[in-house]
Amino acid sequence: MQDTLARWQFAFVTINHFFFVPVTIGLALLTAMLQTAWYRRGSPEYLRLTRFFGTLLVINVAIGVVTGLVQEFQFGMNWSAYSRLVGNIFGAPLAMEGLAAFFLESTFLGLWLFGWDKLSRRVHLATIWLVFLGTILSAAFIMAANSWMQHPVGYIMVNGKPQLNDVWALFTNPVFVWGYAKVVLAAIVTGATAMLVGDELGVIEARYQPMKIAAAEAQWTTCQPCSFSLFQIGGGNNDQTPTEIIAIPHLLSLLATNHWNGQVQGLTPLNNQYNQQFGPGYYVPDVFIQYWGMRVMAYLALIVTLVGLWGLILARRKRLATSRLFLWCATWVVVLPFLMNTAGWLLTESGRQPWIVQGIMLTKNGLSPSVSTTWLVISLTVFVVLYGTLGTVDLLLMLRYSRKQLEPPPAQEDADASVPAMQY
């Protein structure tokens, strides 16, 4: 019971925090590009857009920081056994994130926010690009820590505990390289480009976490070649013979191995192998979450891509701003990247179970022994209320400032001249 509640609590906090991460990265880049266009062309429209999206960026950063703090504290609250075992490794990238990336991001965001009428245009432009650099560095350090849990590298065992002996191995870990690329691209473009990188990540995961890939297709037996079903009826850990609808031949082999006739190990033989290697147990993750997490992410990415192509066609025909149907659809499509990112994280984290660190520590062994079931229920309830409140505040602020009429600012000709401060 404690294991389940602690996992639910961490999953809830992580998913809610990750709602703000891709928005922050994407808005930081968009704001920096818009301000660069204004700096180079001097058009007041670009300045209006810079301030518009910059305001939304500030709101998301503020709420995102609060939601992220709780996530950090949970390692000591509910996962003290895990923290004691891997703190020598896991703590290093988290410290880098806090001491380097977060301070870089927050410091220059403050300079950007309050420096409109105090800094020259050149210096002020540099601050927003440094904010973007801080956001992607922050994501890099967090992904390095998470990727080590998926595929531990760069360590030696000392007195039964892993100890880091090669910090660069954290950042050359193939799970990190492709996982980080996918996170950044998903935050920026969210669609076809990100899914191309996701294909290579699938190959890496098939190599180091074959159970995750097999669960994503509900593949209980070893196959060669392997098809990929677009849809299925039934399935799950208690249904090993679901009815597949429209199976695409060879596609799973390509996704998992990059070879047309590649072999994919099944869940049953993998579980037998793990029983011999790690001792008796059930090492199969939640197949239902894996199967549908993969498809929700892929299908929504396809929809976003098609809507983007639709908008591109309308833009070329000079009808983008007058197509009421497209504008209505585009308004609702903004929800899809959040669902895609959530499905992707569920696929990644649920697929690692029952391991908290692949091959080193089981999730059930990472819990804090002093935290009772009662306290877990109380803290989970508090977090649900807190994050519900923060999410509501963020939504209301985003709606308020996105609907606020923007006054056209005065054009500035001198590249070294400051610009009047933002008004709220």
Whether the per-residue pLDDT at 423 is higher than 80: the answer is no
From 144, 216, 130, 152, select the one nearest 178 (Cα to Cα): 144
From 249, 247, 279, 255, select the one nearest 354 (Cα to Cα): 279
Rg from Cα positions in the chain: 23
pTM: 0.71
Mean pLDDT, rounded, for 378-396? 85
Tokens of 80: 């003290």
Whether the per-residue pLDDT at 193 is higher than 50: the answer is no
Burial 76-88 (b: 16+ CB within 10 A, else e): ebbbbbbbebbbe
Tokens of 230: 């677009």
What would the pLDDT profile of 205-263 be if each residue is shown by its tens digit? 777 788 888 888 888 888 888 888 888 887 788 878 887 778 888 888 877 887 788 88
Share of the chain above pLDDT 90, in %: 2
What would the pLDDT profile of 29-46 be if each residue is shown by its tens digit? 888 988 898 888 877 778
Rounded CA separation 319/31 (Å): 25
Strand partners, 245: 231
Confidence at residue 192, expressed as pLDDT on a 0 to 100 scale: 36
What would the pLDDT profile of 267-303 be if each residue is shown by its tens digit? 899 999 999 888 888 888 888 888 888 888 888 878 8
Exposed (0-12), middle (13-18) or buried (19+): which is 299, by Cβ within 10 Å? middle
Confidence at residue 191, expressed as pLDDT on a 0 to 100 scale: 33
Confidence at residue 129, expressed as pLDDT on a 0 to 100 scale: 92
Confidence at residue 406, expressed as pLDDT on a 0 to 100 scale: 55
Rounded CA separation 32/30 (Å): 5
Tokens of 23: 């928005």
Least confident of 30-34, 37-41, 319-323, 407-411: 407-411
Q: Residue 190 — very low, low, confident or very high, per pLDDT cuts 50/70/90?
A: very low
Strand partners, 156: 163
Give Cβ neighbours of residue 72 (< 8 Å, ≥ 6 apart). 94
What would the pLDDT profile of 52-84 be if each residue is shown by its tens digit? 888 888 888 888 877 877 777 777 778 888 888
Return the HEC string of the chain: CHHHHHHHHHHHHHHHHHCCHHHHHHHHHHHHHHHHHHHHHCCHHHHHHHHHHHHHHHHHHHHHHHHHHHHHHHHHHCCHHHHHHHHHHHHHHHHHHHHHHHHHHHHHHHHHHHCCCCCCHHHHHHHHHHHHHHHHHHHHHHHHHHHHHHCCCCEEEECCEEEECCHHHHHHCHHHHHHHHHHHHHHHCCCHHHHHHHHHHHHHHHHHCHHHHHHHCCCCCCECCCCEEEEEECCCCCCCCCEEEEEECCHHHHHHHCCCCCCECCHHHHHHHHHHHHCCCCCCCCHHHHHHHHHHHHHHHHHHHHHHHHHHHHHHCCCCCCCHHHHHHHHHHCCHHHHHHHHHHHHHHHCCCCEEECCCEEHHHCCCCCCCHHHHHHHHHHHHHHHHHHHHHHHHHHHHHHCCCCCCCCCCCCCCCCCCCCCC
